[in-house]
Amino acid sequence: MNEATASVKKPQKFVVARAEEIPPGSRLIVDVGGREVGIFNIKGSYYGMLNRCPHVGGPLSQGQLVNSVTATVPGKITLDESQDLLTCPWHNWEFDIKTGQSYWDPKHMRARPFTVNVEAGTDVAEQVDGGSVGRIKGPYQAETIEVSIESDYVVLSMRPQRPGTAAKPGACAPPPTATTEMKVEVRP
Amino acid sequence: MTITDLSAAPVATGSKLGVIDVDFHPMPLPTDPQVADHLPQQWKEYISRYGLGAMGGGVYPSQREFTHRLDAVDDNGRVGLDPHLAVEQVLAPFDMTAAVLTCPQTYIITNGGANMPHKLATSLYRAYNNALAETWCAADDRFRASVTVARDLPGGEREIQRCKEGKFGDKFVQVLMSPSGQDPLGKRRYWPIFEACENYDIPLSFHVPGMGRQPTGAGRQNFYAETHAAFGVLPLALVPSLIFEGVFDRFPKLKIAMLEMGWDWVAPYSWRLDATWEKLRHELPHLQRKPSEYLKEHFWFSTQPLEEPERPDMLEGVFGMFEDSGFADRLMFSSDYPHWDYDSPYESVPESFPEDRRRRILGENASKLYGIPLRENSGLPSPTGE
Amino acid sequence: MTTPLLAGMKRSTLWTGTVIDCDVHANVPSIETLFDYMDPVWVQGTQERGWHGPTGPRLSYPPGAATTARDEWRHDGLMPASKLSMLQNDILDPWQVDRAVLNCYYGIDSLRHPDWAAALASAVNNWIIAEWLDKDPRLVASLVIPARDPIAAAAEIDRVGSHPGFVQVMLPVRSERLYGQRIFNPIYEAATRNDLVIGLHWGGTTEDAPSPTGYASWYAEQYAAETQVYIAQLTSMVFEGTFQKFPALRVAVMEGGFSWVPTWGWSMNKKWKGLRRETPWVDRLPLEIIRDHVRFSVAPADLGSPEHSQRIIEWLGSEDLLMFATDYPHRHDDDIDELLAIIPATMKPKLMSETARAWYKL
């Protein structure tokens, strides 16, 4: 528990919801200390993405989830269902849900992904008690999520996913209220 | 005789940069009550039975059903129907003075009024104009409306008169037409519309897409992206006709607002217009001045879609060329809400720009063109303000 | 004696290096000129019907318009550029042209009969070989095709495309369908098979309205607006994936200018970033595709102030995109000296010869 002790003051992992509250095909947008993060369950795997497009600051986590579409020549279009992309709800730029990599500019443009895991209630409760995992206000119910040992929990890590992969800030200032007053809900 | 001495609308000075959005879209369908309530019963029944002409739409489906930004969807899954949501998402956050409503939908769904009974077409145009006034302008006093007229059907000038002299007359601040049509714009069939615009002292505006004729001089496009990337072709055909036909010598007070048709092409194209005139002036003895002078004096442009040069450091050169060429007071902020390529005032006119450029583009230029005074203490914070 | 060219500019003071002129014209003086080169079926067909040849040339280049020929290049009432000696005396000799790309715009697509149009194209190509290419080694040329019928066009490309003098297939810019559409693939297959450039050139169908707003009143109006057709055609080729399907395809844009290229390219780039799923074969920024596959002649150049024009050159993002042309006998602005004055020193030889040499493999 040394690691837990070290980060008592500022947890970098947060309990987001009980696992069954974000079933496959749904998403949840949570506010972690003023930063909004979309949590996605795609076919049983969980992903996190900062709710801000690196292009001009659109609410990225409200975008459509689609698969990669490619073609080497006109007339031969391939859908790759193993490649999940999140498109910005504004200009429709595509970002890899796992890496945040922009489809059109993979070298220079990244959205900000976060690791999301499902952990057993017993482990989570212990970490919450130790202070290494924080609890945040439930997004669709204005209460702090209670952790009980019977359930599995979706845990969001706010550590940079990989060193050096932090998303670039947007090119321009975001609209002042568009992201702060956004509706947050579980989407089927 | 020049129109550059526009009687300037009172402009609030002070600590804020006033904002007017000159391209803001209501998107009701003819079956929505805000439009349908203004349609004669005969045509409501006709539409339910026969649809709207041959214009099925969707020959190149856009990336989203309403070409919208996803967060503009209302609780009923619709876009551009609820004025209050629009106010909440755009007018309020940016503390705007006004938004000028444009509804190209009117000519999109009617294919310019071409392939349906004449009276159905004119009824639809009237109904849409009424919806803008009675649903939208009535919902918030910051909205202004455009009178959309069917470019190639007779009677456009009477619709302008009906709107301007009706209960909401002051709310209608411009006329809107399709940038394409059966004839180039300078031809005489359009002169009654120019006369009406001069008479009421309101600009004539054009907004993509063009309806009523194929969208290029070489056939139709196959992809939505392709049509979008080639929106710039529309003004290249529209401008020379207006100038070379001598329209502005006949209608010296006519003001043209080009909406969502870009503006970075304007300076280079003015060189081509002048070069053409230099070479072919034998054919054009009726022109009193160089084409670029008419362009500078009679045309206004809107910001959206934001021009994105390959490198950000080129942007200053793009604005600089436009301003040096005499168009500094001719560019107006537009959001194109609720479309996918919407720009906020912070993207179109970044805070890094000189304050006086921001002030002009965000609100002053539109305030003068449309005669809409900027509201006291409203708009974006000014970096140098109190 | 040095003949003045382009309003008095002299070759020696303008440019001392090599010159390749990527757009000079041969005009068919009359339909009868082609009879020796035409299938007799159509010689008789022409005579029997009292047909005087396609209307395209007269509509795209009104005979009396100042843009159609410079006064000094209208000789003794003859059709300008209708004889090799005119071209030699007016351009090739005084300009000390190393190579010139000869274009014959004869309006093949203003004749609708598919067999007759194909025969007319063949006759023009035979005439170009016999009267021009075989008589002056400085010349290379574009072959003409019945563009409305891509299969017949491909057959004509294969018939004469291997002649060493032909370096290009002329595709008039106005067509009934946009050239990126797959129906035209046989033309690009044949062009790449024969290692020929596709030359997008002024002119084309004259029946439909030349723009999205109907028939122009004035020639000047249509002339100024023709830019939009070039833009529509290239946009079509980019989004249809013509350059992915034919990676070796090279296009040259003639008489279309270039000052519109950067801002149009940015617009394509912007749309592609958000809409690329519709045309997923477009695998990189459209303006990069243009830089890889398209070159532009500088007649006309349609320049603005030196400072602004310089900015356009910079925004092209490559020194390799522009090719010098006189467009003989057509008249444009006398601005080649202005253009040379604003481009980087390293770009001057590229503009005057090297780019065209590489593009046409001369």
CATH of the domain at B354: 3.20.20.140
Cβ atoms of residues C170 and C133 within 8 Å? no
> Is A32's pLDDT higher than 90?
no
Can you give the pLDDT at residue A174? 35
B32 burial (CB, 10 Å; 0-12 / 13-18 / 19+) is: middle
Q: Does the distance separating the beta carbons of A59 and B93 come in below 8 Å?
A: no
What pLDDT is stored for residue A173 in this prediction? 33
Does residue C182 belong to the interface with chain B, where contact is any CB pair within 8 Å? no
Is the distance from CB of C220 to CB of B277 less than 8 angstroms? yes
**HEC readout, B8-47:** CCCCCCCCEECCEEEEECCCCCCCCHHHHCCCCHHHHHHH
In terms of Cβ atoms closer than 10 Å to its own Cβ (0-12, 13-18, 19+), residue A162 is: exposed
Q: Please, what is the average pLDDT of chain B?
A: 92
Pairwise pLDDT comparison (B161 vs A143), residue with the higher score = B161
pLDDT at B232: 76
Residues 200-219 of C with CB under 8 A from B: 204, 208-219
Q: Is the pLDDT of residue A170 over 50?
A: no
Residue B15: what pLDDT?
83
Cα(B86)–Cα(B337) distance, integer angstroms: 8
Q: Mutate which of A55, A60, A64, A73 to disrupt the C interface (most C C-beta within 10 Å)? A: A73
Q: Which range has highest mean pLDDT (A104-108, A111-115, C141-145)?
A: C141-145
- Closest to A183 (Cα-Cα) out of A31, A34, A42: A31
* pLDDT for A146: 62
d(C-alpha C182, C-alpha B87), whole Å: 46
The pLDDT value recorded for residue B360 is 97
**B224 and chain C in contact, CB less than 8 A:** yes
| B226, pLDDT greater than 60 | yes
Residue B11: inside a domain: no
Which residues face B174 on adjacent strands? B146
What does the pLDDT average to over B298-304?
97
- In this prediction, residue A167 carries a pLDDT of 36
Q: What is the mean pLDDT of chain A?
A: 78
Biggest distance spanned by C-alpha atoms of chain A: 58
Tell me whether A108 touches chain C (CB under 8 Å).
no
Q: Domain tally for chain B?
A: 1
Find, in chain A, the residue whose alpha carbon is nearest to that of C282. Answer: A71
Range of the domain at B138: 16-381
Looking at residue C206, its pLDDT comes to 83
Q: What's domain A2-157's superfamily in CATH?
A: Rieske [2Fe-2S] iron-sulphur domain (2.102.10.10)
According to DSSP H, which parts of chain C are helical?
11-14, 40-49, 56-60, 84-87, 114-131, 150-160, 185-193, 219-225, 227-240, 242-245, 261-275, 286-293, 306-316, 336-342, 348-349, 355-360
Tens digit of each residue's pLDDT (9 = 90 or more) over B373-383:
999 999 999 87
Residue B59 clears pLDDT 90, i.e. is over it: no
The residues spanned by each domain of chain C are 24-360
Average pLDDT for C15-38: 97
Instruction: Give the CB-side neighbour count of residue C355, counting CA atoms within 13 A.
Output: 28
List the chains bordering chain A where 3 or more Cβ pairs fall under 8 Å.
Answer: B, C
Residue of A nearest to B305 (CA): A91
Sketch the domain layout of chain A as residue ranges. 2-157
Nearest to C88 by CA among C75, C107, C106, C105: C75
Q: Which chain A residues have a beta carbon less than 8 Å from that of B346?
A: 172-175
Q: What is the pLDDT of residue A1?
A: 41
B188 within a domain of the structure (yes/no): yes
pLDDT in tens, B325-349: 999 999 999 999 999 999 999 989 9
**What pLDDT score does A144 carry?**
55
Where residue B55 falls among pLDDT bands split at 50, 70, 90?
Answer: low
Nearest-by-Cβ selection for B183 from C214, C228, C303:
C214
**Any idea which architecture C24-360 has in CATH?**
Alpha-Beta Barrel (3.20)
What is the C-alpha separation between B262 and B293, in angstroms, rounded? 19
Identify which of C67, C173, C225 has the shortest CB distance to residue B236. Answer: C225
Dihedral sign from CA coordinates of B168, B171, B174, B177: negative
Average pLDDT over residues C291-301: 97
**pLDDT-derived band of residue B254, with 50, 70 and 90 as boundaries?**
very high
In Å, how far are B162, C146, C152, C220, C240 from C149, measured between CA atoms?
A: 51, 6, 5, 30, 19
What average pLDDT does the segment B134-154 reach? 97
| Residue A169 to residues A37, A180, B71, B93, C336, Cα–Cα distance (Å) | 15, 17, 21, 22, 45
**Number of alpha carbons in the 13 Å side-chain half-sphere of residue C54:** 31
Nearest-CA distance from C349 to chain B in Å?
Answer: 25
What band does A6 get if pLDDT is binned at 50, 70 and 90?
A: very low
C281 vs A: CB within 8 A? yes
Confidence check: pLDDT of B299 > 80: yes
Least confident range of A119-133, B145-159, B308-322: A119-133
**pLDDT beyond 70 at B5:** no
| Tens-digit pLDDT profile for residues C73-111 | 999 889 999 999 999 999 999 999 999 999 999 999 999
Q: Which tens digit of pLDDT belongs to each residue from B62-89? A: 888 888 999 899 999 999 999 999 999 9
